Amino acid sequence: MNRRHFLQSSAAAGALASFPFSIRAADKAGPKKFRTALIGCGWWGNNILREAMASGACELVALCDVDSRQFDLTLKNGAGGTGATPKLYKDYRALLAEAKPEITIVGTPDHWHALPMIAAVKAGSHVYVEKPIGHTVMEGRAMVNAARATGRVVQVGTHRRISPHNVSGRDFIRAGKLGDIGMVRCFVHYGGGPERALPNVAVPKELDWDLWCGPAPLRPFNGGDPRNPSQGAGNRGIHPRGFRNYLDYANGTLGDWGIHWLDQVLWVTGEKYPKRIFSSGGRPIAGPAILNDKEQTTDAPDHQLATFSFDKFDVQWEHRRFSGNNTDKGENVGCYFYGTKGIFHMGWQKGWTFYPSDAKQPVVSEEPKLNSPDSQNIKELFADFLNAIRTGTKPVSDIGDVHLSTNMALLGMLSLKHGKSLEWDGEKEQIVGDPAANKLLRRDYRKGYEYPKV
């Protein structure tokens, strides 16, 4: 990692002396319960909150959301802590100033990850932030710098780093049982079809849409009601759960699912940076993106192919939101590691499977150990987060590591938008010989918001 990324201030320089983490005496003492706040009270923020409260180590003191309709369910999920009813906020800045949490969970849409996380660590809080860590590469760099400068623990929600079958699969590969890896293919295949534009509608009175858009462009509203399950996951409107396919606020399937599987590649192999990236894709099935004063569609690609070249192997990413997947080995999500001794599929709901090249050898597999109700391992990841806070050790999904995984996804999207291949200098975090592409490593924020300083 380049020294210039750290030596931004005397505070950062001081933090280096005890890198990777410096825990204050109050943290070492280990309070009976950590004062905990949730910023972003939607579906996924509630998944994290349930595990935080189930840990028995958290006292919920504050909730923040720009849509007050989110609070009722969240208050139920936050029950079980000690003290008074959590205070409700619309603005995270007021929450941090008044509630003074020791743990802050950031479960907002992607474009709102950077600013609350940076503000929280500067206020003295440890942070659990959802993936991908930022919407642009330089947001992520600013987030890592802030974590290091303040000595706060920042865990990212890449829970597959701690899922039992992912851990044992990594051990299997690292033990040499796959042989030398020559290629990895990461994929997510779901069904879908042509997209019809949704009408723009009046903003609900409970929602501050201007603040929801925040530093990103202000688009017309076309969402639904988060209290109505029929307007949840299946709703293509931006809010409450469709934002990932609107590129002003996220980075499509590659920025959503892709971060998990690209992270698995770096975590398993120990690599840090691809050298070259090229991506193509589009919307031949979904149709042209529409945005006008009456209606709009998503604008993320309905399929995308990306190649990431490392010194020893290549990584391919592919996704599609049509045709589904009923013919491939294993699941419709995951990654295949292709080695000299066979093929290893690292999956999700079916665990992992090794298909040996030698037909005389048996197929080997391991079932997953996932938790209800979300079929994930957030419980174990939050426990690791608490342990890192108490002991000053590095968490398994440390923001510095997941920044590198996020960069892969963001560079794949950058190549697609730029229409060219990229040569990446991972140490300097610059695209070589392409000033126009380097400008896309960040973006201008909307008036009234300041892009975080790197």
pLDDT tens, residue by residue, 327-381:
666 688 999 999 999 999 999 999 999 999 999 999 999 999 999 988 999 999 9
Distance CA 69, CA 148 (A): 35
pLDDT at residue number 12:
38
How far apart (Å, rounded) are the C-alpha atoms in residues 2 and 400?
A: 12
What is the reported pLDDT for 326? 74
Closest C-alpha among 18, 134, 238, 162 to residue 454: 134
Neighbours of 454 (CB within 10 A): 18
Are 235 and 244 in contact by the 8 Å Cβ rule? The answer is no
CA distance 238 to 327: 32
Unique residue bearing structure tokens 């599609």: 320
Q: Give me 445's structure tokens.
A: 């924020």
Residue 13 is predicted with a pLDDT of 37
The tens place of each residue's pLDDT in the chain, 454 residues long, gives: 443 443 343 333 333 333 344 444 344 445 579 999 999 999 999 999 999 999 999 999 999 999 999 999 999 888 766 667 999 999 999 999 999 999 999 999 999 999 999 999 999 999 999 999 999 999 999 999 999 999 999 999 999 999 999 999 999 999 999 999 999 999 999 999 999 999 999 999 999 999 999 999 999 999 988 887 665 444 579 999 899 999 999 999 999 999 999 999 999 999 999 999 999 999 999 999 999 999 999 999 999 999 999 999 999 999 999 998 876 666 889 999 999 999 999 999 999 999 999 999 999 999 999 999 889 999 999 999 999 999 999 999 999 999 999 999 999 999 999 999 999 999 999 999 999 999 999 999 999 999 999 8
Amino acid type, 37: A
Question: According to the model, what pLDDT value does residue 311 have?
Answer: 96
| CA pair distance 86, 89, nearest whole angstrom | 10
Q: What is the pLDDT of residue 79?
A: 78
For residue 310, how many other CB atoms are within 10 A of its CB? 18
- In total, the chain counts a number of residues equal to 454
Q: How far from 162 is each of 156, 404, 431, CA to CA, in Å?
A: 12, 18, 32
